[in-house]
Homo-oligomer: A and B are copies of this chain.
């Protein structure tokens, strides 16, 4: 008997982002694993077991889910946003690679979802309308000089930058350091978007410029988008401005 593991993307917060495929995967799971806050979002089903764990225990959660699936169960792991973007899908692949042979025999499905940067971008216009990159500022798993080199490369070459995990309690200073780094490459007026808890009842989206952006604008629930030299702001009377990056590049950025 072979079990099944689904890694399920819930999208950002609200049920209106949950795809029919993700909804079906949640229904079919006999057991669900996940960060407690994500499990709270999924409707309870009779007879479905749930194992909540801390946000930082991704590897241990993946192993527990893989073991239960290898015993023949239909197991689901829930993930906020898209499971393939700084989330559970990579943790599951890591444990399959380093785990016992029976993990490789498992039927594994990854169910994509709307990742945070897409939801934040949709709220404000189209800041990701041209070439962009997604970069995690967490230095738990990556040396700080790698982060700095990637910020330099991305901003220098004209990519818009979506920053995931911009701050944490242990590194409140890090986002400010990233903005300092980016100011070397970008004009002072470059738009910066802070999307907090997007898709939830308490969502806020604010726009500022790179010369005014600081770490006080963000917390752990924030996704930051830093524009490129091409990114534009369109004022609208009586409405929030639009921020967008045109489809065509008119100049070669310096």
Contacts and interface: CB of A to CB of B under 8 A. Distances in A.
Interface string A215-254: 0000000000000000010111111001011111100100
A131 B134 contact: yes
A63 interface: no
A44 interface: no
A223 to B, nearest CB: 12
A140 to B, nearest CB: 8
A122 B112 contact: yes
A145 B252 contact: yes
User: Contact size class for A?
Assistant: 35 or more
A146 B229 CA distance: 13
Interface string A95-130: 011000000110110111111001101110111111
30 contacts: A18-B19, A84-B118, A84-B121, A84-B128, A90-B245, A93-B242, A93-B244, A96-B236, A97-B234, A97-B242, A105-B239, A108-B242, A110-B123, A112-B118, A115-B118, A130-B142, A131-B133, A131-B134, A131-B135, A131-B150, A132-B133, A133-B133, A133-B154, A142-B248, A143-B249, A149-B157, A153-B153, A153-B154, A153-B157, A154-B159
